[in-house]
Chain A
Amino acid sequence: MALLEALLREFRADADTPLAPLRERALAHARLRGLPTPRDEDWKYTDLGALTLAPPAVATTPGLDIGDIPFIDGAALRIVFVNGRFAPSLSALDALPAGLRVRALSAVLHEEPAALTTVFERCAADDAPVFDALNVALMQDGALIEVAADCAIAAPIVVAFIHAGAAHRGHTAPQLLVRAGERSRLVVVECHHGRDGAANLSNALTDIDVAANAQLTHYRLADEAPDANHIGSVRLRAGADSQVTSYSFAFGGKLTRMEIHAALAAPGATVTLNGLFVAGTGQHIDHQTFIDHQAPHTTSEELYKGLADGDGRGVFRGKVLVRAGAQKISAKQASHNLLLSPTAEIDTKPELEIYADDVACAHGATVGQIDRDAVFYLQSRGIPVDEARALLTFGFAQAVVEQVEFAPLRAWLTSALAGRADVPLPTLVEETT
């Protein structure tokens, strides 16, 4: 617990905001609970034993070039954070369309702390997950994105958290809050990207609130540097007749752990959760999704694809809860996984918990390898075996990738998959441009 004490000292320096008591309570809660172990059902397949929590990183802004930001081509609207701190020079917030407001949380903390109270209260509560509590206790910066009612924002807004430099070894706790007003439309691209030997632990919290009849698409990419760890928590609430789609892509990092909770809070809400992860040698990628049908006439769909290669390990746990009284529910969930090497491992646990009767729920899970017959088929057409395997792997992931409408991300995913497969890009990728 000495570690937490160190974190607490760091936090006290920042204790002059009105939210300080909540942050203190969150930290006390985290200290009391301690870090989870594999004995906790939610952490059965992920052991944090080897994880070290150093105090928050000292804000250093390494010399980053604008071209180092992923998807810069599609990021006309962007807010960028480097090693946990807002980087105005890399951001582009001058030409925001009417109805869209984007602010750094370091400013909001002092300007309008009331805008953060709900999230801070939730994360400081006794039943909040430890990492959510730690996040609000230690948060230094992040973004608040608000779109007003009746505003349809066509251009995607990119939120990039970049970790760079071997000196960057500490703990960061970034936050992204999205508030979509009634009947609004918005696309948010959240990107956690590590480079240049960063060895940080990023404990990120995303909180999304979508009001009635609004439509929100959220893309989230976790691509930390090879020695870095990423713990992400996404909480989203879908209001009446809203449509929310949230993607989680996990590629980089040593340990990546994602928790995605979607609450379908009012009738007519539709939530789609899709994901794709690739766990290569030395990587452990764990996704925990939880779809909570709180209201009748709600619909959810979920498709997760996982790839494990080398000695990589992939974990997927998808829980769907239909609460008592939530009738007329449709919930579909699929978890499909490929093992690409004899030493890789996949653990999957698709769960249904249903307390209503007028429901149509289904889930499916598969774990297997690339179809040998299909490899043979391609070989017989003259394609070399490695390329055939790569093609089929790529095809396997494609069901998720092709749904991505934000073209720069789709291109990034395509080339990342091709890079993994170690196959010349042109063979696989025709649509990159």
Chain B
Amino acid sequence: MATSPDVQTLIGQKYDAGFVTDIEQESLPPGLTEDTVRFVSAKKGEPQWMLDWRLKAFERWQQMKEPNWAHVHYPKIDYQAISYYAAPKSSKDRPQSLDDVDPKLIETYNKLGIPLEEQKMLAGVAVDVVFDSVSVHTTFKDKLAAAGVIFCSFSEAVREHPELVKRYLGSVVPQHDNYFAALNSAVFSDGSFVYIPKNTRCPMELSTYFRMNAMNTGQFERTLIIADTGSYVSYLEGCTAPQRDENQLHAAVVELIALDDAEIKYSTVQNWYPGDEEGRGGIYNFVTKRGDCRGRNSKISWTQVETGSAITWKYPSCVLKGENSVGEFYSVALANHRQQADTGTKMIHIGRNTRSTIVSKGISAGKGQNAYRGLVRIARSAEGARNYTQCDSLLMGDQCGAHTFPYVEVKNSSAQVEHEASTSKISDDQLFYLRSRGISNEDAVNLIVNGFCKQVFKELPMEFAVEAQKLLSISLEGAVG
């Protein structure tokens, strides 16, 4: 990995001066070396153990190769051309009003019915007071504190709850798990930390949307959620509204840990910028999400609606270690225009009587390529394990693609594994039938698509489900003409 002389000079100078003084600097020039990792850590005022952890990850990353098995194509990423630390932009660099924002973005906000003030925030408009978020934020904090729930930024957790972070960080997704996870482990910017104490039902749905300080966590987000014995939490990630974002590469890591009798429900609506109709721009979303059902009778459920990003590479997984533990994966993934999605899940059955359900709905339109990739592995120890997988693809238009790559590995004869998949198109006859009843072409397509996705939508929290439906119909506008 060659680094340009300029960058080396900069980094070299910084190193000579020592980074204690240099962290006054607000952003780093492009490039990734051990010093970059030290700088990021120092900037956040991290303790030595955290820095050591990052450095170990960086060392492993340097020895790894970028994976190429996914069914996606993109130009080679130059990891030295990325800046790994940038402070939030100051007000004067941001759009001064909604008039300065891309009108297409505003149009989408209006279709989604997003209030004006919220639009400003999402579009990154410089505002002095973020509507009434302060009050919302405060009531919210009080309620959680009363229940003993910890919900804070990852940086804060490193400072305030080091013992929890030390115990659980990397215990589900080790630093060297894969290329992007290793990169994230070395340079992660910030993210969320959640701890639900024993026998506690989290009094509300936790949402990044409410956690204002997490809005600018950038491209290498790190999330760690621990549900202690007998607890329950529902966590919502993302937002239906497309957010302004200047980072093309996103490599997040999410780790979930469910102890005995605990349950975590993790819902995602992902609508990053997908690029334009010709496939220019757009986010590369290379995410590692994994849940560890460590305790008996624990349950982890992933629900996702993925409509954004130019390239999605994402397999929220469950490691079912605890006896009777349950893993679920419900997914709607859309690939329109030139989007490429390679997404699915892994269900690793280790404990006795573990059960998993996978329902994946892929929609391909335009020139989109949508691949489901899933692994169901029944280890020899997983006596009585069960898996049911249903994996359906809907095709709209004759230039898109739908692909299914399920891996089923069974080493225990008492297991029952069932996989079903289908691929079909919206038929002209179905559309004509609905239109002859007075339903417009677009509404008819929406009806059919929503019917196709219903099994997944019903797993989402109510409000999210309504938004997801809207989002899907906006994302598919003009897909059938």
Contact = CB atoms under 8 A, between A and B. Distances in A.
Nearest to B418: A366
Interface in A335-390: 337, 339-369
B423 A359 contact: yes
Contacts of B396: 357
B408 A367 contact: yes
Contact of A356 (B398, B405, B407, B416): B398
A352 B423 CA distance: 9
B234 interface: no
Contact of A344 (B69, B405, B413, B423): B413
B436 interface: no
A431 interface: no
A73 interface: no
Interface string B329-346: 000000000000000000
Nearest to A333: B421
B375 to A, nearest CB: 9
A10 B58 CA distance: 52
A330 to B, nearest CB: 11
Contact of A357 (B409, B417, B420, B425): B425
B419 A366 contact: yes
Contacts of A349: 405-408
Contacts of A343: 380
Contacts of B422: 361-362
A369 B411 CA distance: 11
B425 A350 contact: no
Contacts of A45: 409
Interface string B375-396: 0001010000000000001011
Nearest to B417: A367
A41 interface: yes
A354 B404 CA distance: 9
Given A367-B415, A368-B416, A368-B417, A350 B406 contact: yes
B476 to A, nearest CB: 14
Contact of A361 (B378, B407, B423): B423
B230 interface: no
Contact of A324 (B399, B406, B418, B423): B399
Contacts of B435: none
A352 B421 contact: yes
Contact of A340 (B395, B413, B417): B413
A353 B410 contact: no
Q: Which label, helix, strand, loop or mixed, suits the secondary structure of the B interface?
A: strand
Interface in B393-451: 393, 395-425
A363 B412 contact: no
A41 B69 contact: yes
| Interface size class, chain A | 35 or more
Contacts of A361: 422-424
A359 B399 CA distance: 13
B402 A365 contact: no
Contacts of B407: 347, 349
A339 B69 CA distance: 30
Nearest to B378: A367
Interface in A290-337: 324, 327, 337
Nearest to B390: A364
Given A349-B407, A361-B423, A354 B416 contact: no
A347 B408 CA distance: 5
Contacts of B398: 327, 356-358
A345 B410 contact: yes
Nearest to B407: A349
A111 B369 CA distance: 50
A386 to B, nearest CB: 16
Contacts of A339: 410, 412-413, 415
A351 B405 contact: yes
Contacts of A350: 404, 406, 419, 421
A193 to B, nearest CB: 30
Given A346-B410, A348-B408, A359 B417 contact: no
Given A367-B408, A368-B415, A360 B399 contact: no
Contacts of B418: 364-366, 368
A351 B416 CA distance: 20
Given A352-B403, A357-B400, A364 B420 contact: yes
Contact of B406 (A327, A351, A354): A351
Contact of B393 (A41, A348, A354): A354
Given A354-B423, A368-B417, A342 B408 contact: no
A358 B422 CA distance: 13
Given A349-B406, A357-B397, A357-B398, A362 B423 contact: yes
Contacts of A360: 423-424
A341 B414 CA distance: 9
Contact of B395 (A351, A353, A357, A362): A357
B415 A363 contact: no
Interface string B50-72: 00000000000000000001000
A354 B402 contact: yes
B269 to A, nearest CB: 26
Contact of B419 (A345, A353, A357, A364): A364
Contacts of A369: 413-416
A327 B421 CA distance: 19
Nearest to B413: A339
Contacts of B409: 45, 345-347
Contacts of A357: 395-398, 400, 425
Interface string B95-118: 000000000000000000000000
A352 B404 contact: yes
A346 B400 CA distance: 33
A360 B416 CA distance: 27
Contacts of A355: 401
Nearest to B410: A367
Interface in B131-181: none
Contacts of B414: 342, 369
Given A357-B396, A359-B423, A362-B423, A342 B406 contact: no
24 contacts: A45-B409, A339-B410, A339-B413, A339-B415, A342-B412, A342-B414, A343-B380, A348-B408, A351-B406, A352-B423, A353-B404, A354-B395, A355-B401, A357-B398, A357-B425, A360-B423, A361-B423, A362-B421, A363-B420, A365-B419, A366-B418, A367-B408, A368-B415, A369-B414
Going nearest first, the 7 A-B pairs with the smallest beta carbon separation are: A339-B413, A357-B395, A365-B419, A352-B404, A361-B423, A367-B417, A367-B410
Given A348-B408, A359-B424, 6 more contacts: A354-B393, A362-B422, A363-B419, A365-B417, A367-B417, A368-B417
